[in-house]
Amino acid sequence: MSKQVKLSVTLVGALVLVVAGLLSLGAIQDDPKEKPVAAGESRLVRADSHILGPEGDAGVTFVEFLDFECEGCLAAYPAVEQLRKEYQGRVTFVARYFPMPGHFNGERAARAVEAAAQQGQFEEMYHRMYDTQTQWGEQQTPKDDLFLSFAEDLGLDLVKFNNGVKDPATARRVAKDVADGEALGVQGTPTFFVNGERLDPRSYEDLTEALDAALAD
């Protein structure tokens, strides 16, 4: 099986999980009045939004609202990483927090990532959360000690990290991303936008086609 096909299968699997999650939340409805509101750039990317890698130079932005405890996000993670490699230097990739209420440690993980970001290691902790999700996801006990061990592995100042995790301002920073997502009609994760347009991809190729079309405009 080729690498491209493997990525397509991975993304399809992620999308199946996303759709299942949305259905369980009652987010997918036939009533046209329930369609998401139009995306606004100010809510998609803010000055303090986290950019993965270098910014692109073509004016194209790929935004993902994600939950580190979401199995669908984990399944989509390799595809997003592949997109970053293929479109490096052309597309700006932005990660927004959107921990789901049903995930016990989702918001805790987001605060831990944000606390790492305060020490300049957002992306490092972002990767660590996905790489270890099977160790802590879908559990009903706090995993703060485990997240602290990640910070230690990354060489972070642990006092500053702990203070950051507990700081109400950190929780507000996460909540702001959630509020933006809700205003944009986000109801499940992962949810993707390219240049302000929400995507409903069924394959990896749907994502590349959307990026290629945006780059061609």
Query: Taking a C-beta distance cutoff of 8 angstroms, is the pair 178, 97 a contact?
Result: yes
- Check residue 49 and give its pLDDT: 97
The burial of 67, by beta-carbon neighbours within 10 Å (0-12 exposed, 13-18 middle, 19 or more buried), is given as: buried
pLDDT tens, 164-188?
Answer: 999 999 999 999 999 999 999 999 9
User: What's the rounded Cα separation, in Å, for the pair 178 and 84?
Assistant: 24
pLDDT tens, 34-81?
Answer: 334 444 447 999 999 999 999 999 999 999 999 999 999 999 999 999
pLDDT tens, 81-137?
Answer: 999 999 999 999 999 999 999 999 999 999 999 999 999 999 999 999 999 999 999
pLDDT tens, 12-39?
Answer: 454 544 433 433 333 333 333 333 444 4
Domain total for the chain? 1
End-to-end CA distance of the chain: 33
Query: Taking a C-beta distance cutoff of 8 angstroms, is the pair 112, 165 a contact?
Result: yes
Predicted model pTM: 0.82
Alpha helices in the chain (DSSP H): 3-25, 41-44, 71-86, 106-117, 122-131, 133-136, 144-153, 158-166, 168-183, 204-216
Query: Taking a C-beta distance cutoff of 8 angstroms, is the pair 205, 8 a contact?
Result: yes
Tokens of 66: 């994600």
User: What's the rounded Cα separation, in Å, for the pair 185 and 161?
Assistant: 32
Query: Taking a C-beta distance cutoff of 8 angstroms, is the pair 115, 170 a contact?
Result: yes
Query: Taking a C-beta distance cutoff of 8 angstroms, is the pair 163, 171 a contact?
Result: no
Query: Is residue 11 very low, low, confident or very high in pLDDT (cuts 50, 70, 90)?
Result: low
CATH number for the domain harbouring residue 128 = 3.40.30.10
- Check residue 42 and give its pLDDT: 78
Structural domain including 113 reads: 3-216
Note the residue count of the chain. 217
